[in-house]
Amino acid sequence: MAAKTNRLGRGALTALTWVIALLFVFPVIWMVVTSFKHEVDAATDPPKFAFSPTLEQFTTILDRGFLPYLANSAFVTVVSTLLVLLLGVPAAYALSLAPIKQTSNALGFFLSTKMLPIVAAIIPLYVISQNLGMLDNVWALVVLYAGMNLPLAVWMMRSFFLEVPTEMIEAARVDGATLPTLLYRVVLPVVAPGIAATALICVIFSWTEFFYAVNLTAAQAGTVPVFLVGFITSEGLFWAQLSAAALLASLPVMIVGWIAQNHLVRGLSMGAVK
């Protein structure tokens, strides 16, 4: 009797998990389906499930100049993430494996920078960018995205560095390893999954960031989120075109996440338990 109850409980839990998963995935599925519709079919109420698939919307998106925006997003995302890792790895190492008396203050400072509303900083940032001639420039977004993601990256990577066994570090020092050798030959291979997880999160945040991009860029340095706003007009929403553009915008991050999912799970689980 108890075994039967346990099986029923597990079955109900599995069914509930599938229902919740489908609720989360359904908007993505609907976006994909809508992107292959004609505008007339996409705007029907109630929704039309029987339709003739077409690639017309994707052709329209490409003709409207989607690729330059995609290139800008890719450049800003990759360069800003590399900059975050270049600055964040040494900082996380110092705050975890070589702490000083003011380490807690430094961590508090990193955390406090995430509490500042970006709306409060946009006017000074706009004025500074204008004075430096950096408006509508991808390098302005690179610096801003790196600064936006760096505090979170340092906090995450610090928890991963704390998982490195002290015995391993002491053995390397006894063997005469210098600090660069200790960091790049001993520590980094151990925390590589955590760094990969941090990099992926930075990629997602940079790729989807909208507020800085829409206020500091125009035609030359616009990113994919800025491109998507162009489909919201006074005439209404072009649902099929918007869904096709959103699908093309989401594919790079979805592909990267799918490829790196094993590293993401391993990395996020590194600092979960002691």
The domain limits of the chain are 65-270
Instruction: Please tell me the predicted confidence (pLDDT) of residue 82.
Output: 96
Element (H, E) at 236: strand 236-237
Collapsing DSSP to helix, strand or coil, 238 comes out as: coil
Mean pLDDT confidence for 164-180: 83
Q: Name the amino acid, one letter, at 146.
A: A
Angle at 34 between CA 29 and CA 35, to 5 degrees: 100
> What proportion of the chain, given as a percentage, has pLDDT over 70?
91
Question: Six-digit token pair at 39?
Answer: 């505008």
CATH architecture classification, 65-270: Orthogonal Bundle (1.10)
Residue with tokens 């500074």: 128
Burial 7-30 (b: 16+ CB within 10 A, else e): eeeeeeeeeeeeeeeeeeeeeeee
| pTM for this prediction | 0.83
How far apart CA 203 and CA 91 sit, in angstroms, is: 19
**pLDDT greater than 50 at residue 274:** no
At 269, the pLDDT band (50, 70, 90 cuts) reads low
What is the average pLDDT value for the chain, to the nearest integer? 85
Element (H, E) at 233: strand 232-233
